[in-house]
Amino acid sequence: MYEANNSCRSKKCDTANKSIGCTVTQCKYHCDSENYCSLDKIQVVTHESDPKMSQCTDCSTFEPKN
Ligand code: SF4
């Protein structure tokens, strides 16, 4: 029997993906009540030619709210 145990369910997001943690609350795919992405898959990219640290990478799936 299905049991709704996702605290996002009462909010707009009902699919918190516990495999994709994210704190970018400005993104329309962010699960607002928890720090997770709501998508099944994201694309991570680099904006550097030779990335050396995490700051060199980005989520290219990001879209701003509104
Ligand atoms: S799409 Fe990327 S930036 Fe947006 S919530 Fe998901 S992981 Fe975060």
Determine, yes or no, domain membership for 23.
Answer: yes
Determine, yes or no, domain membership for 1.
Answer: no
Q: What is the mean pLDDT of residues 10-31?
A: 86
Determine, yes or no, domain membership for 10.
Answer: no
Q: What is the pLDDT of residue 5?
A: 45
Determine, yes or no, domain membership for 2.
Answer: no
CA–centroid distance, 27 to ligand 1, in Å, is: 6
Determine, yes or no, domain membership for 64.
Answer: no
Report the nearest-CA residue for atom 3 of ligand 1.
62
Total tally of structural domains belonging to the chain: 1
Q: Is the pTM of this model over 0.85?
A: no
Query: pLDDT, tens digit, for every residue of 39-66?
Result: 999 999 999 999 999 999 999 999 999 8
Q: Which domain holds residue 40?
A: 17-59
What is residue 55's three-state secondary structure?
Answer: helix
Share of the chain above pLDDT 70, in %: 79
- Please give the sequence-ordered ranges of beta strands (E in DSSP) within the chain, or none if there are none: 17-21, 30-31, 36-37, 44-46, 57-59
Determine, yes or no, domain membership for 11.
Answer: no
Length of the chain: 66
CA–centroid distance, 18 to ligand 1, in Å, is: 12
Protein residues whose CB sits closer than 6 Å to any atom of ligand 1: 20, 22, 24, 27, 29-30, 37, 39, 42, 59, 61-62
